[in-house]
C-alpha cells in the first residue's frame, strides 16, 4: 500500500508540474490606440511582461543603476492596455529556483540602462523566454524597435519620454513566500541626477503601489 501511495504521489506531482502554474506566458499591452490599425501591417507599439508562477515580470526605466525589473499581477500592468496572452512553454525551475533566477537577471537590467530601441521591455521578455523555454517572443511584439533602429523618425514624439523620477520600492520574498516592503536606496537624493545626463528615449510604467521592483542579488 505504501509503495502504491508513493507511486501515486509521484505521478500526481509530475502532472502538477505540467499544469498552468508552470506555464511561461507573454502578456502583451497596447501603448497607443494606433495599434488597432498598425497591427494589420505587422507592427505596433507594445509593452510586454512575462508571466511565471502567477506573477508577471517586466522591465521599466528609472534614473538609478539598480534593478529595473518589476513584478505585477498578471494582465494588469498599470498605464497600459492589455491586448492578449501568448503561451511560450513551461518553466522547469521550482518557484524558489525561479525567484533566484529572476533576482540574478535583475542585475543585468538596471533602470538607467533602459532604451526604447536597444534595450526595452520586449528585449527583456524575449531574453527571459529564451532562457526559460528556449524560444523567443513573436517578432511582431518588438518589430517597431527593430525598425526604429534603422529609422528613429518612425517613433512618435509622444514615446520619446525621459525616465521617471522615483526610487524603486523593493518587495523582498521571505522564506514563507510573503513579501516585505523596503526601499534600500532611500538615501540617494533625487537632486543628484541631472536631467541633461539623460539623453535616451525611455519608457516606464507610472509610479504605482501595484508595481514592485525586484531586488537584485549580488553575482
User: To which residue does cell 523567443 refer?
Assistant: 136
- What distance in Å separates the CA atoms of residue 38 and residue 144, rounded to the nearest whole number? 10
Residues recognised as catalytic = 47, 121
The pLDDT-based confidence of 187 (bands split at 50, 70, 90) is: very low
How distant, in Å, are the alpha carbons of 49, 75, 164, 180, 201 from that of 28?
7, 8, 22, 28, 21
The pLDDT-based confidence of 207 (bands split at 50, 70, 90) is: low
The yes-or-no verdict on residue 127 having pLDDT over 50 is: yes
**Alpha-carbon dihedral 204, 206, 210, 212, rounded to 10 degrees:** 40
pTM (2 d.p.): 0.69
- What distance in Å separates the CA atoms of residue 203 and residue 211, rounded to the nearest whole number? 15
Radius of gyration of the CA atoms of the chain, in A: 19
- What distance in Å separates the CA atoms of residue 106 and residue 171, rounded to the nearest whole number? 13
Provide mean pLDDT across the span 7-20.
49
The yes-or-no verdict on residue 167 having pLDDT over 50 is: no
What is the per-residue pLDDT across 46-88, written as a single tens digit (0 to 9) for each?
999 999 999 999 999 988 999 999 999 999 999 899 999 999 9
Query: 22-150, what's its fold?
Result: endopeptidase fold (from Nostoc punctiforme) (3.90.1720)
User: What integer pLDDT is reported at residue 65 of this predicted model?
Assistant: 93
Domain chopping of the chain, boundaries: 22-150
The yes-or-no verdict on residue 95 having pLDDT over 60 is: yes
- What distance in Å separates the CA atoms of residue 57 and residue 214, rounded to the nearest whole number? 9
Q: What is the 3-state secondary structure (H, E, C) of 105-121?
A: HHHHCEHHHCECCCECH
* Residue 152: DSSP 8-state: G
Amino acid at each position: 500500500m505504501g509503495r502504491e501511495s508513493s507511486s501515486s504521489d509521484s505521478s500526481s506531482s509530475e502532472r502538477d508540474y505540467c499544469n498552468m502554474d508552470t506555464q511561461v506566458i507573454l502578456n502583451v499591452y497596447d501603448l497607443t490606440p494606433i495599434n488597432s490599425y498598425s497591427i494589420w501591417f505587422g507592427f505596433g507599439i507594445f509593452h510586454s511582461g512575462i508571466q511565471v508562477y502567477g506573477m508577471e515580470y517586466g522591465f521599466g526605466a528609472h534614473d538609478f543603476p539598480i534593478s529595473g525589473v518589476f513584478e505585477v499581477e498578471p494582465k494588469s500592468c498599470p498605464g497600459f492596455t492589455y491586448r492578449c496572452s501568448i503561451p511560450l512553454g513551461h518553466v522547469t525551475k521550482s518557484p524558489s529556483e525561479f525567484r533566484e533566477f529572476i533576482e540574478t537577471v535583475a542585475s543585468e537590467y538596471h533602470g538607467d540602462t533602459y532604451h526604447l530601441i536597444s534595450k526595452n521591455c520586449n528585449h527583456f521578455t524575449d531574453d527571459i523566454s529564451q532562457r526559460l523555454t528556449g524560444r523567443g517572443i513573436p517578432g511582431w511584439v518588438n518589430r517597431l524597435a527593430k525598425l526604429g533602429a534603422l529609422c528613429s523618425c518612425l517613433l512618435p514624439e509622444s514615446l520619446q519620454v525621459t525616465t521617471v523620477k522615483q526610487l524603486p520600492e523593493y518587495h523582498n520574498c521571505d522564506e514563507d513566500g510573503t513579501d516585505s516592503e523596503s526601499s534600500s536606496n532611500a538615501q540617494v537624493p533625487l537632486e543628484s541626477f541631472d536631467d541633461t545626463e539623460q539623453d535616451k528615449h525611455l519608457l516606464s510604467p507610472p509610479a504605482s503601489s501595484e508595481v514592485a521592483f525586484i531586488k537584485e542579488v549580488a553575482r
